[in-house]
Amino acid sequence: MAVQFINGKCIFENRLSSFSDIEGWIVEGEANVQFIDNRLHIENKLDAEIFGDNAHWVLWCPKTFPDKICIEWDFYPVREPGLCMLFFSATGRNGEDIFDERLPKRSGKYPEYHSGAINALHLSYFRHKHQEERAFRTCNLRKSYGFHLVAMGADPLPPVEDSIPPYKMRVVKYDGEVHFSINQLPIFQWKDDGKTFGEILSGGKIGFRQMAPMKAAYANLKVFEAIAVEKSDEA
């Protein structure tokens, strides 16, 4: 019998439709934030041609989430090239809150997140930043501490000019299992053995990241309790 995960109780909901919805959220790096058509539109503030990797940013939800959750949001690609990412199960490497004042300050540069003072799971999608990414598009899952690529699946998202958003994004984190789908299409599944890349990560923070000059919009962020149910392998 295979296991699938269904949504249980909704434990967090945010429409991401106005500045009041992101009051208390934390930006690392510099980003321009707008709300257009009741959606969060966000892009880099610094010119990527001048500032390079210093132009990227992360937007963190301040809430700490438990394990065994389903994360859902609506995604609207607006301008490329670029790359979008979701951090989840993010904590300090010694179990601290990622905003603990004892941890080094982060500024949006990627090494601070994969080889710094925090552990996290990193889902990258809409990977249209570099030519090799656009030529063979994948969604990737990495685990830190360390730059460990642990899962990969084909990315169905088209270039901006061909997109018909919103795209319904869904991530399940349940003990060692991570499932990712777009518009109910399974992209990848991964099961952490808790040994190869360190202990299984549990609860923690969720954050959105973009690589400049990507511009995208987000709406309807929801987090549910994940419920595991057995599914017959028979057709």
pLDDT of 27 reads 98
> DSSP E strands: which ranges in 94-214?
118-125, 138-144, 148-154, 167-174, 177-182, 185-191, 205-211
* 133 or 227, which is more confident: 227
Any idea what DSSP says for residue 117?
S
Is pTM, for the whole model, over 0.85?
Answer: yes
Is the pLDDT at 214 greater than 80, yes or no?
yes
- Environment class of 2 (CB within 10 Å of its CB; exposed 0-12, middle 13-18, buried 19+): exposed
CATH label of the domain that carries residue 122: 2.60.120.200
Is the pLDDT at 233 greater than 70, yes or no?
no
Q: How many domains does the chain contain in total?
A: 1
Q: Which domain holds residue 184?
A: 2-231
Q: Are strands 57-60 and 39-44 parallel, antiparallel or unpaired?
A: unpaired
Cβ count near 197 (within 10 Å):
17
Band of the pLDDT at 3, cuts 50, 70, 90? confident
Identify the bridge partners of residue 208 per DSSP, sorted by sequence position.
59, 86
pLDDT tens sequence across 42-90: 999 999 999 999 999 999 999 999 999 999 999 999 999 999 999 999 9
